[in-house]
Amino acid sequence: MNAPSVELVRIAEPDRLFIGGRWIDVEGTDRLRPVNPATEAALPDVAAAGPAEVERAVAAARAAFDRGPWPRMAPSERAAAMRRLSAALQRRATTADSCWLAQVGVPVWMSRGASAGAAGLLDMYAAMAETYPFERIGPAQGIACDTAVVVREAVGVVAAIAPWNGPLASLLVKLAPALAAGCTVILKPAPETPLEAFVLAEAAEEADLPPGVINLLPADREASDLLVHHPGVDKVAFTGSTGVGLHIAQVCASRMARYTMELGGKSAAIVLDDYDPAELGPALAPLVTMLCGQACINFSRILVPRARYDAYVESLASAMQAVTVGDPEDTATMMGPLAMERHRDKVFSYIERGRAEGARIATGGGRPAGMRRGYFIEPTVFADASNSMTIAQEEIFGPVTAVIPYASEEEAIAIANASEFGLSGGVYTQDTDRAYAIARAIRTGTFTQNGREFDLTHPFGGFKKSGVGREGGVEGLEAFCETKSVFLPRVPTCLQVG
């Protein structure tokens, strides 16, 4: 497999959109213009959908669901088509990896092979579709009927809306279970990072799914809002900021549309007193700087025992200083740039806010020396921070973390829970019994001892303002199903065994 490179970014149909099983011309002239955050150079621009394309995409997905074969196929038939889609996408994996590197600045060590791995979600849900009990027979306590069939049916037309930090994986974790359930899907990438969605649409064309099962709708936020409001969309699956998620939830609630949301985080790592300070920095620095901190699960609060506070701060600051920041295409680079100029400015504003509120920068806080182009930032550690500070309460979405002292495990738990978010978390200790007890006390959707696992074979999602519902695992499939109870006097012939 070739290493990802900006030079390998290739889009076959940049001027058209894949809707209803074919590439169509757009009515307007608007374009989405991604930028390489490492060099500030323009990347290939692509057609942007407008109101007319929103209507066409919804109509195509609606027709495919209401009258097409996809939701009426046997799960094994859908599984076979999903495996064709996975294979077609894996043949384009280097191109998709290159798009991620070019648009987001993800280092080559992280982007290489990522798209092939994400395509594996299609295979996982294909296998699940073949074994999942979409029809379950049981006894009924009725008057005329003594048999009940509990059926899981596809929710309908799905708008899958992805963020800019992990464009392809965020689409696939919605698309794969939706297809397995029998839904039809409209793919809506972020306007800053549309390219992987075009690659996915190329794979869908090759896989020859029925027309309208997968539709591509790259659009700005105005057209996206039309999609969310559209009465022809049965469900919105969204990953992104909490603010946008709250708006989508209100729109969906107003028309009783279904939705799942994976939103922001302010995850805390609790360090217990048996964990060696010298080991803490090397263990945590990669989990703060992954994706240049632009991951909702990153540890942006580090809670450490007050008695050894200075040692823990020194260990983390030293490890963050050792993180190599630079060109994403350089194999020595550990952390690339922030994805956008406006986002870099936002992260710097949080750093200034931390200083103003009395926190001390132990390392970082500025632009790396010698980097005059690109949206680069130094890995940053705040010391002398309290949980009431803005930097400890609001999602910064950058390689910035605050080290907060605590006096007892009870106080650490209280600090970790004193947040409007609840997405991820962790505890650093050699005692698994203590780790599990703390995990059960923290109001968060994912929790790990001595690390931070992200395993979509299991459910992923958040408490509180970190989201609604779960992606991944069997729960991810069930999120795209409606449940129906059918009462009958006997088991129908099609469900009888033997």
Contact (Cβ atoms closer than 8 angstroms) between residue 232 and residue 58 = yes
How is residue 138 written in tokens? Answer: 């049981």
Q: First and final CA of the chain: distance in angstroms? A: 48
| Beta-bridge partners for 267 | 299
Q: Per DSSP, what are the bridge partners of residue 226? A: none
Q: Which one is catalytic: 192, 196, 202, 262? A: 262
Alpha-carbon distance of 380 to 365, in angstroms, equals 5
- Do 377 and 399 form a contact (C-beta atoms < 8 A)? yes
Residue 102 Cα distances to 72, 96, 108, 388, angstroms = 40, 10, 10, 37
Token duo for residue 280 = 């803490």
3-class secondary-structure state, position 155: coil
* CB-based burial, 423-458: b 16+ in 10 Å, e otherwise: bbbbbbbeeeeebeebbebbbbbbbbbeebeeebee
Catalytic status, residue 262: yes
Residue-by-residue DSSP string for 18-57? EETTEEEE-SS--EE--B-TTT--B---EE-B-HHHHHHH
Please list, residue by residue across 205-239, b when 16 or more beta carbons sit within 10 angstroms of its beta carbon and e when fewer do.
bebebebbbbbbbbbeeebbbbbbebebbbbbbbb
Give SS3 for 112.
coil
Residues belonging to the active site: 262
